[in-house]
Structure 1
Amino acid sequence: MKNKKVVGLSNVQVQTRIADGQKNTKPAPLTKSVYQIIFDNVFTLFNLINIILACLVFYTGSYKNMFFILVAFCNTSIGIFQEIRSKRQVDKMALLSQTKTDVIRNGEKVAVKPDQIVLGDIIMLNLGDQIPVDGVILKTKELEVDESQITGESDAITKHDGSQLISGSFVVSGNALMKVTKVGKDTFVNSLTSKVKVTKQNNSKLLNLIKRIIKVLTIIIIPLGICLFVSRLYHGVALNIAILGTVAAMIGMIPEGLVLLSSVTLAMSAYHLAKRHVLVRDLASIETLARVDTLCLDKTGTITNGKLQFEKLIMENDNFDEESVKQLLGSLIYEINDNNATADALKQHFNKHPYQATEIVPFSSARKWSGVTLGNQGNFVLGAPQFILKMNAAQSQQVHDYAKQGYRVLGFAQAEHLSNNQIEGAHLIALILISDVIRPDAPETLRYFYDQGVNLKVISGDDPTTVANIAQRVGIKNWDQYVDMTTVPNDADYQTLVKSKVIFGRVRPEQKERLIQAMQQNGHTVAMTGDGVNDILALKQSNCGIAMASGNESTKSIADFVLIDSNFSALINVLREGRRVINNIDNIASLYLIKTMFSVMLSVIFLFMVRNYPFQPIQLAPINSLMVGIPSFFLALSPTFHPIRNRFMAGIEQIAFPSALCVVFYILLISLISSLIGINSADVSTLNVLLTGAICWQALILVSRPLNRYKWMIVILSITSFLFVFLFLGRLFSLTTLFSLAVGGVGSLLLLTVNPMFVLVQRLTDFFKTKIKLLRR
């Protein structure tokens, strides 16, 4: 397209429009603002409860029992620090991934950010661009746009000079010059962007489960705490002691460390991935990708680097000599002036273009061809041979043989009649062989996914035999199980098709979407990689969309991950990071719920008992921090990259619940022993802390399996630190010495029974669980 006469706005005009507020708005940020991060971390229900409880403890004058508010402050500070650090890295990556818009100013092409577009700018639109603002076409070569975000219809709409263009739509073929008529709040872009750029609904199983637990506990904590407090007063317990006991119970019921653990570890993962040049658009998508069992690859830009190289011109018509064909081909390519990889490869070889086009049919991924009328020379088309002419058996076999050798085969033909959607009387002139450049890291990356139990499929718009050949070269299993999607009827059973086939060629955009949907209907969690406008529907349908930064802006805008360096092997880091986070949280979560469970049980029991609640707030600190909090954060960093095993509920059933029952049993047992042999209340509290810590330490060992040197170090340091508190900091935490008959003697005997008791409770729990299942049947 010639645009020498188009001058566009001058610098002075641009500055005037900016001063008048006629400037486009910035895209919505991917991350929360610093203010939002601080607000969301500080103003939580649990923090409010902690502050109220701290005020109650302050009233009693037992200031050391306010230690829990320091822990809450540290938790909040850590959460804020990690989220802000993650935000800065993600924002930096988002800036790198942002695609600029080409505008004409002062007669020159200038690349500007979307928010730098002003009213009256002249924008150059090309294949794959997302239209950032509203405008009117000044000049075009039969531009086609997808306005599905507005109309709901995915069919391409042909635009002509003077046609209106709406922000949020995508260019699917052709190119154009557009004059900006609306910017900022006057355009559709803000509402459309929210629809286009929002990732899939958060289907994070783990995070949603944690949120449900928190919601239930929120309902329980406050009324149960009030009831316990009233009960203490009713049984004649002194006001200050009643307050301290109630506060200890409510603190124990709050699993604030679990919330912090999940949010901070995901934020840290986003930070680590951003440092590896992977942009995470949504933290929940890290978990989603970790659960993926089927990865669908778009050949171009993923297995290959998106670049093509011309290999050979094969003459098929004696009425044309090779030189004239080169000139006709060059004229077609330069007159259509597409900016895709095929056009770029052909422009380098067919650089003579003596003829001008009187009519143009630009390339469309749905049509699979483009065409021109070159004055008196006639009508010429270039595209997939199957789509531009009716091939005879020999031609079909020839194309098939070249495709099997790994070539991309294009047909160049002359047509008697040419329109936007139809070719009549096409005669083949020549075949053009093009080859893809395979990414050097592709074979190793694919092998890793196979080793991790992820099934691989290739969905491409290219010839299936060509795709299969490339798939064989990079090591994709069952590469010979391929299908040409042009032969698949609309009413075909896609769920059966995706079970039997691995390579899908000649796939139209809407078929890509249906293939992804069929895999999901078969029970798979599906990730899709892509970089082209024809991948948009499939990326939106997938559970997890992955785009290359080298792709167009419309593709990146709806992806969950953007690979900034367009480095396919970076997917290994994403999968490993996701699995590390989810596996570790899955294993560790049960530690936090032990305290919650036994605190709820004890609160209910002590509603009906005259005795004081068995803990003071300060006495829970060594258990919360040394047996659970600190070890869990180090365990969350351990390299656990195996496939997701969904052990969250299993951990609650097998570790958290039996441990909580054991804590309740030993506290009641210690209470009974103290009544029989006369142990004072201070020693009783010390025994309660000692036995509870021992049970939590045993649970720590269980969740750390399989144990290695790193995990053994965490386990040993935790128990050493716990004993250090008893030996040297006992007075601070209201603990008596271990070297007494009451604590040392009774405590030693009870510690010997912890493991057998846990095993017994665990087996009883399994027994009753089995009985309940049988009764339900």
Structure 2
Amino acid sequence: MSEVFWHNLKIEEIEKIQRTSLKEGLSEKEIEIRQREFGKNEIPEEKTSSNFSLFLSQFKHLFIIILLFAVLLSLVFHQFLDALAIFLVLLFNAFLGFYQERKAIKILEELKKILKIEAKVIREGRERIIDARELVPGDLILLSAGDKVPADARVIESQNLTVNEMILTGEFWPSLKHTEVLPEDTPLADRENMVYMGTTIEEGRGKAIVVGTGQNTEIGKIAKLAQKEEKRLTPLQRKIKKFTIQVAILVLFFVLIVFIIGLQREELRKNLFLLFETVVALAVSSIPEGLPIAITVTLALGAQRILRKQGLIRKLASVETLGSTTVICTDKTLTLTEGKMKVQKIVGDEFLAIKFALLCTEAFIENSKDPKEKWKIVGRPTEKAILEKAIEIGLNKKEFEKDLIYFLPFSPRYKFSLAIYREGNQKNLYYLGAPEKLLEFLDTPEKEKLKKGLNALLEEGYRVVGAGYLPGIEKEKILPEEIFNLRLKFAGFLALSDTLRPGVKEAIKTCQMANILPVIVTGDHKLTAKAVAKELGLKIEEENILEGRDLEKIDEEKLKEKLKEIKIFARVEPIHKSKIVSLFQEKGEVVAMTGDGVNDAPALRKADIGVALGSGSEVAKEASDLVLLNDSFEVIVKAVREGRRILDNVRKTILFMCTECFTEILLVLGAFLAKLPLPVLPIQILWKNFVEGSPQGIAFAFEPEEKEIMERKPENPKVPLLTKEIVYLFLFGGILTDIILFLMFWFLHNQGLAIEKLRTFCFAGFAFGSFCYAFSCKNFRKNIWEYNPFSNKVLNLTLTLGMILLLFSIYFPPFQVLLKTVPLGIYEWIFLIVFGLINLVLFEAVKYFLKKSS
């Protein structure tokens, strides 16, 4: 069925198409038929995962699958203890991820409004109130101030019907509705004869014919479009996937070499089970089984910290993405600004201009008996701003009310309001309204000068109202048409704008310091957006602004070239926002998109990180990765800081866990090549990894953020998890210490040390060496003397407990039996302490040379 442009049809045509009556509405029988045809008037929601499927989703990552294979391998070779240990680790990791994501879902469910929306309709000639979900196309709906529009409808009667459509169009200013036919190509934001589901009636009354319900409404279409947008893997997910494949290939390669060399050993050919057991133990231990937990804990802790700062992370993997963000595409209204008008400038006498303007307003303080800080001002946005300014300069509207003779409320038709007050023995007329109208009524030789001043304010993006007066008027009542015969005196131009949110200016500066590009993407006029940008401290020229209509005209390749100059996209529609996100992504940028309206949902879904306001639409929240519970832009910057900290901590964990995991495989390989006995037993390898390796690796999740973290450039998404620093530290720090431990093993073996003591020495050497270089893993960019090595209390605790357990495993008889260890003497401990210090020195030396070379 082709699209019907309801705004382009006459009311009589719509009545005929919808088979309804403008007086009687629909019959009950017809309603039943249409409800079966069109279904409930509900916005389609994305199907939420069940608890079971959410839990199972924690096992879909490649690293987890490899570890599940390790469990299977352990079971095949009857290593039941190993299999149980790995499975418990995976189970704990799954529960942790499930808990965090389920918690986010619950918080979002609590944020949803539980109030049932009702609709006033005319059916069979009678007015009635029904559940809005029961509406069908063809229904006649009645609208009044304060109502939520329950469906898309064509206006057939309007009595000053004014609608706030910001949730759909992004426009802050309310739309005055009429019944006239509009051109077919009229943009959505300018369809003044239509009302749309989810918008709010601010003033007046009206009647309309429902033309769209449920998924056929504009909001429904956008919700459906948002669900179709596929979410890309986050930079961290892509990096972990690549890293996992690299580790798997490396482990398989080394394990095969160990197995082939082991087959050349006569004693191992005779004891194939020991060889298989050793190979399986090496394979299992070489995969850092604690890494999934460490990453999940790191992400979960980051999500908790962001939540304490009023940001709700919906998906754990999204936390790190914030740290890689290079572009933030942000809406203007309610994201950068408060959605609240304020008088910013006054041309003319400030006191008189505000006083005369105040006398022509209907705004009032609802709870004037309460303390001033709790006052609630009610009225139109412009009039509320005037009253607030009047209070600020010490004017009290109540003092003048007793002298009011006549009041003509603001009318969109005439675009002004009038008031006559008695002052002493005379009556004075006051005017508040459109400044261009005021200029027509003025009696002054400075009219041209005032016109230039007005244009200057308009070019700065201000909304301007004019205040004028006429003292000594004879009449006590004036009709709107009569003012054209009067000559007023000029009191002032009041320039208003939407006020910036507290902390936003500082947040934008922090973004720039962190080399993140902030881009304003708004449905507002370019002058309004430009004024806000300048107030934020952004340098904006004409070449830095692009309007939505131009996005369709400019060639895509030229657009990509021009993209680096654009700081404001104005007059954009939903489809434009998604295109803007795509253009930045095609240039390799990691894009965060903020928004609150239904119109933002597709772009939020498409962006690498979608950021929705807590006060925004449910459709936007469902499409987002991060919800700002207090609507503050500051939270984004705090989340970016957390994201960078998280990526740092993930890398520290990887360096520590991979270095200590590969130590065992390299030592066994060296022993096989040198035809020496097994330096460690399988049970010792697994004990060391699970008890004296994984806890310390997980402890890096609690590592404090590094200084100057927000002064670094955002990381290129193509940079792997194994950075140059990690590779060098692993090669020249980790492998060199492995060689030193092997040489110690070879030396002590030649000295005739018993094989049990030798294996205990190597077992202790693995643990003690890793405890020492753990302090080096705390910072890749600085040496240990440039930071506090004991700043992480959790790491200190796990290292202390690890050392206690190491001593227990060597000197406590039950552990000696389990792990086949024997007590070490002072001679062996001297070697171990020297080895530990060598570990630390080598790691610090590599860091020092890396720092000098860079």
- TM-score greater than 0.5 by the shorter chain: yes
* 2:51 is the counterpart of 1:51: no
Say whether the 8 Å CA contact 1:50–1:251 is kept in structure 2. yes
3-state DSSP class of the match of 2:119?
Answer: strand
* 1:752-767 superposed matches below 5 A: 753-755=838-840
Change (3 A) 1:610 1:56: farther
Aligned-pair CA distance for 1:96 = 0.8
* 1:607-756 superposed matches below 5 A: 611=676, 613-621=678-686, 623-625=688-690, 628-640=693-705, 642-643=709-710, 648-662=722-736, 664-705=738-779, 707-708=787-788, 710-711=790-791, 713-714=793-794, 716-730=796-810, 732=815, 734=819, 736-737=821-822, 739-740=824-825, 743-744=828-829, 746-748=831-833, 750-751=835-836, 753-755=838-840
Deviations 1:643-677 (A, max 9, x none): 46757413431223334423542453244224422
Aligned-pair CA distance for 1:57 = 6.1
Change (3 A) 1:438 1:383: same
Cross-structure match for 2:53: 36
Q: Select the structure of larger CA radius of gyration.
A: 2
Cross-structure match for 1:436: 498
Aligned-pair CA distance for 1:226 = 7.0
My pick for the range that moved more, 436-445 or 343-352, is 343-352
My pick for the range that moved more, 398-407 or 297-306, is 398-407
Say whether the 8 Å CA contact 1:516–1:541 is kept in structure 2. yes
Cross-structure match for 1:320: none
Q: In angstroms, what is the RMSD of aligned CA positions?
A: 6.0
Of 71, 95, 111, the residue aligned with 1:96 is 111
3-state DSSP class of the match of 1:279?
Answer: strand
Aligned-pair CA distance for 1:401 = 2.0
Deviations 1:249-289 (A, max 9, x none): 01212222222222333244334434544333443432222
Of 206, 231, 237, the residue aligned with 1:207 is 237
Letter in 2 for 1:587: K
Say whether the 8 Å CA contact 1:627–1:700 is kept in structure 2. no
Deviations 1:1-56 (A, max 9, x none): 9999899999xx99x989x99696972256x4321243344685345334334435
3-state DSSP class of the match of 1:708?
Answer: coil
Aligned length: 676
> How many percent identity over aligned positions?
18
Deviations 1:615-641 (A, max 9, x none): 334323554356542233332223316
User: In the aligned structure 1, how far is the partner of 2:189 from the partner of 2:458?
Assistant: 32
Aligned-pair CA distance for 1:682 = 1.6
Of 397, 401, 407, the residue aligned with 2:462 is 407
Say whether the 8 Å CA contact 1:224–1:603 is kept in structure 2. no
Deviations 1:571-619 (A, max 9, x none): 2332232222122113322112224444554576677675554333432
Change (3 A) 1:122 1:744: farther
* 2:84 is the counterpart of 1:69: yes
3-state DSSP class of the match of 2:702?
Answer: coil
3-state DSSP class of the match of 2:95?
Answer: helix
User: In the aligned structure 2, how far is the partner of 1:9 from the partner of 1:633?
Assistant: 67
User: In the aligned structure 2, how far is the partner of 1:753 from the partner of 1:158?
Assistant: 70
3-state DSSP class of the match of 1:302?
Answer: coil
3-state DSSP class of the match of 2:723?
Answer: helix
User: In the aligned structure 2, how far is the partner of 1:125 from the partner of 1:221?
Assistant: 69
User: In the aligned structure 1, how far is the partner of 2:50 from the partner of 2:582?
Assistant: 35
Say whether the 8 Å CA contact 2:605–2:623 is kept in structure 1. yes
My pick for the range that moved more, 253-262 or 534-543, is 534-543
Letter in 1 for 2:767: G
Change (3 A) 1:69 1:92: same
Aligned-pair CA distance for 1:704 = 0.9
Aligned-pair CA distance for 1:355 = 9.5
My pick for the range that moved more, 77-86 or 250-259, is 77-86
3-state DSSP class of the match of 2:325?
Answer: coil
Letter in 1 for 2:243: I
Of 523, 532, 539, the residue aligned with 1:478 is 539
User: In the aligned structure 2, how far is the partner of 1:258 from the partner of 1:89?
Assistant: 23
Say whether the 8 Å CA contact 1:726–1:737 is kept in structure 2. no
Cross-structure match for 2:401: none
* 1:214-363 superposed matches below 5 A: 214-218=244-248, 228=258, 232=262, 235=265, 236-237=267-268, 238-274=271-307, 276-308=309-341, 345=382, 352=409
3-state DSSP class of the match of 1:256?
Answer: coil
Aligned-pair CA distance for 1:84 = 1.5
Aligned-pair CA distance for 1:196 = 0.8
Letter in 2 for 1:209: K
3-state DSSP class of the match of 1:636?
Answer: helix
- Where does the alignment leave 5 or more consecutive residues of structure 2 unmatched? 1-6, 12-20, 122-126, 170-183, 349-355, 361-377, 387-406, 415-432, 438-446, 467-487, 716-720, 780-785
Change (3 A) 1:180 1:47: farther
3-state DSSP class of the match of 2:685?
Answer: helix
Cross-structure match for 2:635: 570
Aligned-pair CA distance for 1:210 = 1.4
Change (3 A) 1:757 1:684: farther
